[in-house]
Amino acid sequence: MGSNLNEFANRTVVVTGASAGVGRAITHRFARAGARLGLIARDAEALCSVQEEVERLGGSAVIAPADVADADALFAAADHIRDAFGPIDVWINDAMVTVFSPVWEITPDEFRRVTEVTYLGFVHGTLAALRDMRPRDRGTIIQIGSALAYRGIPLQSAYCGAKHAIRGFTDSLRSELLHARSRIKLSIVELPAVNTPQFDWARTHMGQQPRPVPPVVQPEVIAEWVFRDACNPHRETWIGWSTLKVILANMLLPEFLDHYLARKVVTAQQTRVPVSPMRRDNLDEPVHHLHRTRGSFDREASAEAIAIPGPVARIAPVAAGVLALIAVAFLARGGERRR
């Protein structure tokens, strides 16, 4: 998908969570467009590997190891990237962690850690981007969201809560930028299930290994749509039919979805493979040997997905509702005339 022309030559793009999964795929896509990439994640060794990949693909990169939960460390990372490459043109917030567990088995410290990385990490990254962009009144900030920002699912309450918070924070900021007549662009991209290493290294309190809820797409698909959004920012983009269906179903039939998810999605997030007692997770520290772009579900992951701007997607249920009301009114008038 997409071209390999140097659309981003001499433009600086920062990616948090750049060491694996969607973040790593995004760095590859921008590297093929000739971008200068600032790579942020906790694991310096993994970032060095990504830096080598970026340079082989035609981009350039500087690494800035930092935990996005630490605001001062993230601001320092942004300063390091700006000193190396100049002003930041695009900032992409992607870093995340999660815990698979019923709510009553997650500890307060685990909730706090997921929130600090997956929500406050986006806040810190956005603040760092704004520090650079506001004096110039230009730049683009892209938040990597999820369909779960609209609809929480069982076993991922901490993550879903953080993604909901990202959407609320982003909407508030967007209104403030509009009030200030700012030219800074702000986008949020809502993802479906993606074949990334998170299912191999996320903390879990379940008996079986975690897995994404089908249908699953490859991280390169997300990277392509994020790249397109950077070229032509939308307020919001929904990627994949599953994202579209989940968000619209929750708008129209939330109680039905409560029961459907209760019946189907607890088991749908677990494989038949028991969790090993030797399993390590990345909640507090990186798992060095698992950094890669794709996860363990290549066989079922699709290499393509639709993407629809959120405002366009919302027209469908509104139009359906209007047509239904018109049909009811027409039938009622017909009945009155017959009487």
Q: Is the dihedral of CA 155, 159, 163, 168 positive or negative?
A: positive
End-to-end CA separation in angstroms for the chain = 60
Q: Cα 76 from chain centroid?
A: 23
Q: Which of 119, 150, 159, 260 is catalytic?
A: 159
Residues 6+ apart with CB under 8 A from 186: 140, 141, 143, 170, 173, 174, 177, 233, 235
Is 150 one of the catalytic residues? no
CA distance linking residue 305 with residue 201, whole number of Å: 25
Specify the 3-state DSSP secondary structure of 101: strand
Helix 120-133 / helix 157-179 crossing angle, nearest 10 deg: 20
CA distance linking residue 81 with residue 87, whole number of Å: 9
Produce one character per residue of 30-40: b if its CB has 16 or more CB atoms within 10 Å, e if not.
bbbbbbbbbbb
CA distance linking residue 97 with residue 85, whole number of Å: 29
Pairing of strands 99-100, 90-93: unpaired
Catalytic residues: 159
